[in-house]
Amino acid sequence: MSRVAILWDADGPGPKVAFNEYKTAAQVFKLELGSFPVRGPNPDLTGAIQGAKKTRADALIVVGNPLIGQHRKQLFELLTKTRLPSMTEGRQYAEAGGLVSYGASSAEMYRRAAEYVDRILKGAKPADLPVMQADAFEILINLKTAKHLGLTIPKQLLIRANELIE
């Protein structure tokens, strides 16, 4: 793989940060990176995916946020039709038809949020609480999508996956 496209919400502050992080990583791995920003409320997903295909992107990374999440079913139907493999940061995207997701464990994030609530209810000041980063991550692989794309997932990756969607 030498060319990767990034689909992201240009109006979202979080996706802007994520895009810059992907840009830095692409330089380290010597990958060509294509930027395909979309804007709401009706993002031009078809145009973005066609643009990625025109640049001969080998894969598409989807930076998730509420706008993208709202259109995830349509997005992954388009990606499957165009046979463009995708990587995402959240399980809901793999469940909607994305090929692979890798990100912080949702269950772990909810557990951590409950810890914050518990501390606050016991009198801690929110400003005094430490920032905790995720330390549990999960990989989901959508085998149905892989089959449709004609891809064979390496056995080592299948073994490491937390969940396989069939």
pLDDT tier at 74, thresholds 50, 70, 90: very high
pLDDT tier at 145, thresholds 50, 70, 90: very high
Question: Among residues 91, 79, 108, 95, which one has the least CA distance to residue 143?
Answer: 95
* Model pLDDT, residue 84: 95
pLDDT tier at 25, thresholds 50, 70, 90: very high
Higher-pLDDT residue of 32 and 134 is 32
Which sequence spans correspond to the domains of the chain? Answer: 3-104+137-165
133 pLDDT more than 90: no
pLDDT tier at 135, thresholds 50, 70, 90: confident
**How far is Cα 5 from Cα 151, in angstroms, rounded to an integer?**
19
Q: What is the mean pLDDT of residues 63-88?
A: 95
**pTM of the complete model:** 0.86
pLDDT tens string 43-53: 999 999 999 99
The CATH number for 3-104+137-165, chosen from 3.40.50.2300, 2.60.120.200, 3.30.530.20, 3.40.190.10, is 3.40.50.2300
Q: Residue 43 corresponds to which amino acid?
A: P
Question: At which residue do the structure tokens 């009198």 appear?
Answer: 123
Buried b (16+ CB within 10 A) or exposed e, 16-38: eebbeebeeebeeeebebbebbb
Q: Which two tokens stand for residue 106?
A: 């949702």
* Residues sharing a CB contact under 8 Å with residue 98, sequence separation 6 or more, in sequence order: 62, 72, 76, 79, 86, 87, 88, 142, 145
pLDDT tens string 85-118: 999 998 999 999 999 999 998 888 899 999 999 9
134 pLDDT more than 90: no
78 pLDDT more than 90: yes
- Write down the mean pLDDT value for the chain: 94
* Residues sharing a CB contact under 8 Å with residue 87, sequence separation 6 or more, in sequence order: 59, 60, 61, 62, 98, 99, 100, 101, 102
